[in-house]
Each structure stands twice: as structure tokens, then as C-alpha cells.
Amino acid sequence: MLKDYRKKYFNDLESSVASLLIFCIYFFIIGYFFNWLIIEGVWVGDASVCKSSTGACVSFLKEKLVFILFGVYPREFLIRPILGIIILILGWLHFTKKKNWNNLLFFKFLALMFIYILLLRGFNDSFVPTSKWGGLPLTLLLSIVGIALSYPVGIFLALARTSNQLIPRYLSIIYIELIRGVPLISILFMSSVLIPLFLPDGVTINKLFRAQIAIILFSAAYFAEVIRGGLNSIPKGQWEGAKSIGLNYFQIIRLIVLPQALVKVIPPTVNTIIGMFKDTSLVIIIALFDLMGTTKASMTDSKWLGFSVEAYFLCALIYFIICSKMGKFSKKVEQELQRGH
Amino acid sequence: MKAKYKLSSIIFSTTTLFLVGGIIYVLFSQLQENLNTQNIATGFSFLGYEAGFEISESLVDYDSFDTYEKALLVGFLNTIKMAVVGCFFAFFIGLIFGVMGISKKHALKSFAENYINIIRNIPLLLQLFFWYALFTDIFPNVKEAKSFLGVLLTNRGFYFPIFTSTFVTFIFIFITGIFLVGILYFCLIRIKKYKIPSFICLNLFSLWIITLVFNQLFTVTHPTLQGFNISGGESLSPEFCSLFLGLTIYTGAFMAEIIRSGILAIDKGQWEAGRSIGLNDYQLLRFIIIPQSFKVSLPPLISQFLNLTKNSSLAVAIGYPDFVSIANTSMNQTGQAIELVGLIMAMYLSLSLISSVTLNFLGRSSRA
């Protein structure tokens, strides 16, 4: 064990110097962080104790943890978003198993989404309006509904772009390049300012749905490009073979091409999902309280001013755990697919 | 059989066209109606009106009496400034960490992997907020700031000394450049082993000497505290610094991954052949591996440059006056949402068009 490490890090003079340098950097960062969080950090006590210390204010995080995670969601119903998150974790465990990758997967995902939304929304006397949704459940909601609705749109766009039908092809090329050429912020602005102008009198769409529409429109173009890569990687022989046994275009797509293409592009698809999950944080700019929004809002409490770094660390930790979990899955699938060839 | 297929395809195409056209028509007729009822004037005539808001930093002269057109131009130049500076440094970060990621020295490799892993999995917006909080909450105010080598880090920005005359600054940069090129040449020709360390040492040494000589010959203004403000020297605003740090560190991580996989895509035979003709690791990378890897990694790198430019629009969240942020302010003041969102989109689209044309051109020239 020790020998392994010696060989890894101190094999010759050059690598020893490099290792020592890097270890010094690690030591400095971890030491500083440890000092900040544990030694000088304030774990019990109120704001006045925190202000007199130079370390982290953990009691601020303890005080605000529920707010950062769930926003202004009614406290008596807090069990429901928690239950929703547990269901999502179970769903994640279910979907990442290779034996579950079949036609039913997408419908299971839709069912999961509806259960999640119902849990957040509730019925008659336990109804919670969307304006009170916030924090982590909202971030998850934006990403899940985003995936569920933009993935099929992405498939259609990709099929249109690879088909030999002139007009659908050009329409989809225009759409994809238009969306991919502009930042998400401009689409969010567009959806928050322009969608009301496009609607007839009396019809209004809630702010959350407008942001959701923007996210769907945006990520559909990115999914389309990923799926197009998969469609292009299917060899021509598959098409010809399918045609020769008398299948028509839709049958070929549904039974032969899509099942192969979609599995092939799972790693870039998951990377797109990670990007989308991170991008949902931009809804803060149109004043929605997702995880980032509640983090920022927690700092405006006049009793607890000036502990922004602590709050950002907590928020970053949550994003990091979720994203790196997905990233690890994507890496694992990538290696499996490469071994398959 | 064939004719039938064609007929169905024509029918399909025309139906799609009519469907999409119909949707667009319905939406726009509704838009027209809504605009008429709400008495919103359309058109770009508002660009000539007086803007009436201040912009904190600008590359051209601007004050609040100037027109919206001028304000948007200022924003555009700020976006370009951030994009150029950001792309340059992000590329270097990417190159350094990308090469570190394939190093045989395990510590370097794991360091690069950790950096890529952590930075890529945290939203850029959060990182921007974090850097901004570092400047505004953690760094001392101007009264308590201590200078380090004439450089001041305060909650009002980053201050550094500068030569009094711009002409001298130009000469300084010119002479430094010549020295650095000379040292690079000297390193490549003379010192066979430990090229990078000796290059870095000589560079730092020569920079120190040149700065010392220039300090003696010409007058330098140092940033110093006068009353409640810092005068002298040059400064960068906290908004610019935090946006710059956030964008370069974030995009650098993506570029490092791209460059690393580009290098890994090079055939092993290239490495072995290079070693067999007696090149050391640095020469191998510099002359054989990296030039070839750019053929693979150039398209994703350019799309990362573009991503950086698009991501610079997050400036609106921390108050750096870029194009989107100024367009947003104008939108709130004039209510001309359609035109301004259109302008934002047109600007970014034309940038991406230019870059894709360049990409095609480069692809063609590298293949030839």
C-alpha cells in the first residue's frame, strides 16, 4: 500500500518535487478550509457571536437550512417535498439500471413526474400554489419537467434534421441553430416579457410555467444535436436491412434506429441534462426562488447579514453532489459502451 | 412506387410548412392586436432617445445624456472586451490543466482531475456570485487595504500601479515582449533539459529586471489612499474581476477536458516514434502531439469560446454592464421588449455565425 503510493508520487526527483508542490497546495486549501469551518467556525450561538469570529457561521446555516432547501413552502406540509425527493432518488436508482432501459422507461419517467408534481401541489385543503414552491424541489421540478418535455421534442427535431424532407429539415436546422446561438438568459427574458404579448386577452401564464417553457425550448435544441449524433452513427446497413424486410419509415425509426441511437448517446445526453440542471439556476434572474434564489434570499435577513460565503458553500455542495453523481453515471455508461465495441 | 413516395413526402412537407406558418401567423396577429390595444409603438426609433442612465465602466466616452444607441454600443464593447480577455486566459488555463491531466506525475494528474471535476459540477452563476461576494464581503475596504508589491485588493476592485505616460507603457510592453521572445528562442536552442522550469525562471527574472529598470527611469503612479478614495494607478472594477475570474475558471475546466481528450486521441505510435528520435517530453508535446491534437479539439474549443461569450451575459446578475445588462435596463425604461430581445439575439447569432464561418475555413485549410 505504502509502496504503491511511493511509486505513484515519489518515483523520481521531478515527480517528487511536483507531488510536494501539489500536496502543499492541497494542505493549504484544506487547512484553511478546516480552520475556517471547524476551528474558528461558530457552531452554536447567534449572529453577534458569528460577527465577532473570523470563521464560518454554521449557526446561520442551521437557522436557514430549511429555508434554503424548501423556500417558503408551508411548513406543515414539508413532508411532501421530502417524500417527492425520496421518490426521485428511488427513481434515479431504478432508471440507472441497465436492465430497465426499455420502451416503458419514458412512461415510467412521465408517471414519476406527475406523482412529483401532485405531491408538491396537493389537493383541496392541502393545496399549495406554485408561487410558494421554492428551493431544491423547484430546481428539481424545472429540470425534470424540462427533460420530460424537451427530450421528445429533441427527438422530433433530430429526426427532421436528418430526414430527406426539405422543408422539415430546414425548419429544424433554423430552430436548432437559432436557439444554440443565443444565451439562455435572452430566451428567459423573451419568455418572461414576450409570452404575455403573444397571448389573447384574459389568458395569463404563471411565471413558473413561462420559465419552464423557456427551459424546454432551449434544451430541446441541445437534445436534438445530441440525438442527431446518435442517428448519424447508425450504419446504413441497418436502414437497408429494415427496408428489405418491408418496414416503413416510422416502423424503422421506432423499432430499429431510435432504440440503438438513443442508447449510444446516453453519455452526452446525461451531460446535457447536467448542463440543464445547472442552467435552471438562471431562473433567479427572472425572480423565481429555486435553490439559488432561496440561497440569495437567505442572505437578505437583516439579523444575519454578511454570511454569503457560507450560504454559497452549502448551495455549491448540493449542486456538486447531484451533478457529480450524474457525471459518474455518464462516465460508467461511456466505458461500458466502449467495451461493447 | 417511387412516385407515390414522392407525393406523400410533398404532402408531408407542405403540411408542416402550413402548420408552422399558421402558428407563426396566429401568434403574430395576436401580438399585433395586443400591441395596438396596449398602445406600444414598435420600431427602432427609440434608439435615438436620451438614455438617462449611467454606465459604470466604458471603453468609449459615455454619459447619461447620450442615446440608447450609444449605451448599447458601450454594452457591446464591454461584452467583446470580456470575451477577448476571457477566451485568452481560459485557453491558457485549459492548456495547462489539459497537459497536466495526461501527466505521468500522479499528483499533477489528480490535481487537474479534481479541478475539472469540482468546477464543472457547480453552476457558473453560483461561482460568479461567490467571486463577487469575495470581492464585496471578504476583501477589506479601501482604508484597511494593504498593498502588496504596489497592488491593492479592495472591495472596490483591483488596483495596480501604472506608468504615468501611455507611451512609456507601450514601450514597456514592447521591450518585455521582445525579451520574452528572446528567452523563448534561447530556451529552445540552448537548454536541452528542464526547458519549462528554466523558461519560467528566466522569464520571471527578466520581468523583474525590466520592471526595476523602468521603475528607475520613468515615473510610476502607485495607487494610494487619499481621503476616502484611492487615487493614482489603474483599477479594475469588482464586477469585471469577478466575471473574469468566474468565466475563465469555469470555461478553462471545460477546455482542459477537451484538450486532454484531444491529446489522448493521438495514436500511441506518435509518442513512441517521437521518443525513438530522441525528443524529450516537452519537445514531444510541443512539436508532435499538441499540433496534431488541435485538429481534433479545435471545433469543440471554438464552441467553448462561443459558450464563454454567451455566458458573459450572466453579467446581468452581478452588475457588469455588458450588452444584455444594458439592453435589460433599456427594456425596463422604454418597454420596447421585442426590439431589444431581437437585438440581443441578433448580436449573439451574428457572433456565432462568424465563428462557424471561421471554423469552416480553418477546417478546410487544415485538411488541405
| Long-range contacts formed by B339-344: CB under 8 A, 24+ apart | B339/B42, B339/B43, B339/B44, B339/B46, B341/A186, B341/A189, B341/A190, B341/A193, B341/A194, B343/B72, B344/A182, B344/A186, B344/A189, B344/B313
pLDDT one-digit tens code per residue, B221-262: 777 776 666 666 677 888 999 999 999 999 999 999 999 988
Q: Which of A23, A166, A296 sits opposite B107 (nearest CB)?
A: A23
Beta partners for B235? B159
Yes or no, beta carbons of A278 and B30 under 8 Å apart: no
- C-alpha cell of B323? 450588452
Chain A residues 55-74 within an 8 A CB cutoff of chain B: none
The complex scores an ipTM of 0.90
Angle subtended by helix axes B124-133 and A291-298, to nearest 10: 10
* Residues from chain B contacting residue A296 (CB–CB below 8 Å): 129
Q: Which of A26, A164, A197 sits opposite B31 (nearest CB)?
A: A197
With beta carbons less than 8 A apart as the criterion, state whether B244 and B86 touch.
yes
A189 in B contact zone (CB under 8 Å): yes
Q: Based on the domain organization, do A181 and A308 belong to the same domain?
A: yes
Q: Which of B9, B129, B348 sits opposite A183 (nearest CB)?
A: B348
* Residue B258 covered by a domain: yes
* Residues from chain B contacting residue A284 (CB–CB below 8 Å): 125, 317
* Per-residue pLDDT at B368: 43
Q: Based on the domain organization, do A111 and A25 belong to the same domain?
A: no
Which is more confidently placed, B296 or B259? B259
Chain A residues 6-45 within an 8 A CB cutoff of chain B: 8-9, 14-15, 18-19, 21-23, 25-26
Only one residue has cell 493549504, namely A28
pLDDT one-digit tens code per residue, B262-289: 888 888 898 899 889 988 877 888 888 8
Only one residue has cell 448519424, namely A232
Yes or no, beta carbons of B37 and A324 under 8 Å apart: no
Alpha-carbon distance B9 to nearest alpha carbon in chain A (angstroms): 7
Coil, strand or helix at A74: coil
The pTM of the full predicted model, rounded to 2 decimals, is 0.86
- Residue span of the structural domain in which A30 resides: 1-39
* Per-residue pLDDT at A245: 92
* Residue B365 covered by a domain: no
Q: Which of B16, B106, B341 sits opposite A9 (nearest CB)?
A: B106
Q: Of A133-137, A238-242, B50-54, which gets the smallest average pLDDT?
A: B50-54
Alpha-carbon distance B342 to nearest alpha carbon in chain A (angstroms): 9
- Strands in B234-236's sheet, in edge-to-edge order, are B152-154, B157-160, B234-236
- C-alpha cell of B354? 462568424
DSSP state, B146? P
Q: Based on the domain organization, do A143 and A285 belong to the same domain?
A: yes
Q: How confident is the model at residue B116 (pLDDT cuts 50, 70, 90)?
A: very high
* Per-residue pLDDT at B208: 78
Number of domains in chain B: 1
* Per-residue pLDDT at B3: 45
- Asked if the model's pLDDT at residue B2 lies above 50, the reply is no
Alpha-carbon distance A249 to nearest alpha carbon in chain B (angstroms): 11
The H helix count followed by the E strand count for chain A is 17, 0
Mean pLDDT, range B324-340, rounded to an integer: 87
Q: Based on the domain organization, do A195 and A312 belong to the same domain?
A: yes
Q: Based on the domain organization, do A77 and A140 belong to the same domain?
A: yes
Q: What residue type is assigned to position B262 of the chain?
A: G
Q: How far is CA B57 from CA B31, B75, B323, in A?
A: 36, 9, 12
* Residue B306 covered by a domain: yes
Yes or no, beta carbons of B120 and A323 under 8 Å apart: yes
* Residue B171 covered by a domain: no
Alpha-carbon distance A34 to nearest alpha carbon in chain B (angstroms): 18
Q: Based on the domain organization, do A96 and A201 belong to the same domain?
A: yes
Yes or no, beta carbons of B121 and A282 under 8 Å apart: no
Q: How confident is the model at residue A142 (pLDDT cuts 50, 70, 90)?
A: very high
Number of domains in chain A: 2
Looking up residue A96, the CATH number of its domain turns out to be 1.10.3720.10
pLDDT one-digit tens code per residue, B178-231: 777 777 666 666 655 556 666 677 777 777 777 777 777 776 677 777 666 666
- Residue ranges in chain B assigned as alpha helix (H): 2-38, 68-101, 106-120, 124-133, 166-189, 195-217, 238-264, 268-276, 281-283, 290-311, 315-318, 323-334, 337-367
Alpha-carbon distance B90 to nearest alpha carbon in chain A (angstroms): 19
Q: Based on the domain organization, do A34 and A101 belong to the same domain?
A: no
With beta carbons less than 8 A apart as the criterion, state whether A57 and A301 touch.
no
pLDDT one-digit tens code per residue, A148-196: 999 999 999 999 998 888 888 999 999 998 999 899 998 998 888 888 8
With beta carbons less than 8 A apart as the criterion, state whether A67 and A298 touch.
yes
Chain A residues 237-276 within an 8 A CB cutoff of chain B: 274
Alpha-carbon distance A159 to nearest alpha carbon in chain B (angstroms): 14
pLDDT one-digit tens code per residue, A70-87: 988 888 888 888 999 999
Cα dihedral across residues B35, B36, B38, B39: positive or negative = positive
- Residue span of the structural domain in which B116 resides: 71-161+222-321
pLDDT one-digit tens code per residue, B22-47: 998 988 888 888 888 877 777 788 88
- Asked if the model's pLDDT at residue A341 lies above 60, the reply is no
- Asked if the model's pLDDT at residue B318 lies above 80, the reply is yes
* Per-residue pLDDT at A274: 93
Alpha-carbon distance B178 to nearest alpha carbon in chain A (angstroms): 30
Yes or no, beta carbons of B14 and A167 under 8 Å apart: yes
Q: How confident is the model at residue A63 (pLDDT cuts 50, 70, 90)?
A: confident
pLDDT one-digit tens code per residue, B71-112: 899 999 999 999 999 998 999 899 889 988 888 888 888 899
Looking up residue B229, the CATH number of its domain turns out to be 1.10.3720.10
Q: Based on the domain organization, do A22 and A68 belong to the same domain?
A: no
With beta carbons less than 8 A apart as the criterion, state whether B166 and B238 touch.
no
Q: What is the overall mean pLDDT for chain A?
A: 87
Q: Based on the domain organization, do A29 and A162 belong to the same domain?
A: no
Q: Based on the domain organization, do A11 and A154 belong to the same domain?
A: no
Give the whole-angstrom CA distance, residue A276 versus residue A139: 10
Which is more confidently placed, B280 or B122? B122
Query: In the Cβ-directed half-sphere of B356, how many Cα atoms lie within 13 Å?
Result: 11
DSSP output for B325-367: HHHHHHHHHH--HHHHHHHHHHHHHHHHHHHHHHHHHHHHHHH
Residues in Cβ contact with A191 at an 8 Å cutoff, skipping those fewer than 6 apart: A210, A211, A213, A214, A217
Q: Based on the domain organization, do A34 and A121 belong to the same domain?
A: no
> Which residue in chain A has the smallest CA separation from B197?
A14
Yes or no, beta carbons of B123 and A279 under 8 Å apart: yes
* Per-residue pLDDT at B150: 67
Q: Of A138-147, A214-223, B160-169, which gets the smallest average pLDDT?
A: B160-169
Q: Which of A193, A306, A323 sits opposite B337 (nearest CB)?
A: A193
